[in-house]
Amino acid sequence: MDQRLQGKVALITGGASGIGLACAKRFAREGAAVIGFDLQSAEHWQAAEEITEHQLFINGDVMDLEAQEAAVAQAVDRFGQLDIIVTAAGIGDAGPVHMLDQTAWQRVIDINLTGTFLSIKAALKPMMEQRSGSIITIASIEGQLASEGGSSYNASKAAVVNLTRNVAMDYAQLGIRANAICPGFIETPMFNSVMEHMPDLKESVRKQHKMMRFGQPEEMAGIAYFLASSDASFVTGQAIAGDGGYTCGPSHGIVEMMGLT
Residues marked active site are found at 153
Contacts of 104 (CB under 8 A, 6+ apart): 93, 95, 152
Gap between the Cα atoms of 234 and 221, Å rounded: 19
Find all residues with CB under 8 Å of 245, minimum gap 6, and list them: 209, 210, 211
Sequence-distant (6+) residues with CB within 8 A of 259 are: none
Angle of the 115-130 helix axis to the 151-171 helix axis, nearest 10 = 10
Burial 213-237 (b: 16+ CB within 10 A, else e): ebbebebbbebbbbbbbeebeeebe
Q: Which residues pair with 87 in a beta bridge?
A: 13, 137
* Cβ pair 163, 112 in contact under 8 A: no
The C-alpha atoms of residue 136 and residue 181 are separated, in whole angstroms, by 7
* DSSP one-letter code for 164: H
- Cα Rg, the chain, nearest whole Å: 18
Amino acid at 246: Y
